[in-house]
Amino acid sequence: MNEMEASRGLSKVGSMIWQKLKSLFGGAAAIPEVFREEWIALLEKNVPLYERLPEDLRLCLHEQIGHFIGTVRFEGCGGLELTEDMILTVAAQACLLVVHRGGKPYPKLKVVYLYPSTFSSVMKQVDAYGMVTEGVVHRLGESWGLGTVVLAWDSVSQGARNMADGGNVTFHEFAHQLDHEDGSTDGAPGLPGPGAYRSWARVFQENYDDFLERTEAGRKTVLDSYAATNPAEFFAVATETFFEKPGQLFRKRPELYDEMMRFYGLDPRGWLRPNEHDAKPDQEEGFQESRAGFGK
């Protein structure tokens, strides 16, 4: 699916709503001061994780949301009429991943397309003999290296509201955007320097290899088995788990958790309530089934 195909059926009303939000943020010298009470209430309802954040982090997030909406175009596709709820729900989750970043939250990102639900995409595969086959696949989300994210709104909404299942399509696809930024989608996003890359490579390789062994043996793990697809998907699924199951990820894969904590500059364990620090064994092991529908 290319951008022209994704653009079919765009909503003019939704575009106007995005333009209105953009104008509100674009002219503001201090975005946190104009972040409306109704937007805060909306995020508390739609993104329960937002309510857990410390006040200073919320203020930083408000500012990032403003920059995000001011620099990234939103379009409704497949008959979806965009609303403020949709735009702010996506923006809040996307910006949590880059809440401490200066400048544009996602410098290369140009547009977010929202579909009402699962959308279709054409996938090309080349086998070992060079034969090319095409097939239609159904997606919950896609992230393209040229500055586009495509999301199914019902999956965005469900993933945001269920903050402890380890599944969040918005976190997943925006993790891919971060992975794209250094030019390759390989599970290693842009890092501060050689030492950081060496540490990341060692920890991720060890955890990825161990994870493959466990999934091939049919053993359950805190990470969803979709992470076994390739290193890029391992990073994206690890991001979902880091934000939604931080206590479990820390206990099961502490070095992986520490790498994620350094990269994102956040420690979501501090957002857990006392009774959430000790998950039951079956909860801690997570689910074994692979989730279909994610795309790079």
pLDDT tens digits, one per residue of 154-192: 999 999 999 888 899 999 999 999 999 988 889 999 999
- CATH number, domain of 198, equals 3.40.390.10
CA dist 117 and 175 (Å) reads: 21
Q: Do 121 and 232 fall into the same domain?
A: no
The candidate with the shortest Cα–Cα distance to 289, out of 216, 220, 207, is 220
pTM of the model: 0.84
In a domain, 171, yes or no: no
Q: Do 133 and 67 fall into the same domain?
A: yes
CA dist 4 and 96 (Å) reads: 29
For residue 198, what are its two tokens? 């060496």
Q: Do 159 and 202 fall into the same domain?
A: no
DSSP structure class, residue 294: B
Quick one: pLDDT band at residue 136, thresholds 50, 70, 90?
Answer: very low
CA dist 111 and 89 (Å) reads: 15
For residue 73, what are its two tokens? 């175009």
pLDDT tens for each residue of 261-276: 999 999 999 998 876 6
In a domain, 185, yes or no: no
Question: Which domain does 202 fall in, by range?
Answer: 194-285
Question: Helix (H, G, I), strand (E, B), or coil: what is residue 270?
Answer: helix
Q: Do 107 and 210 fall into the same domain?
A: no
CA dist 177 and 72 (Å) reads: 13
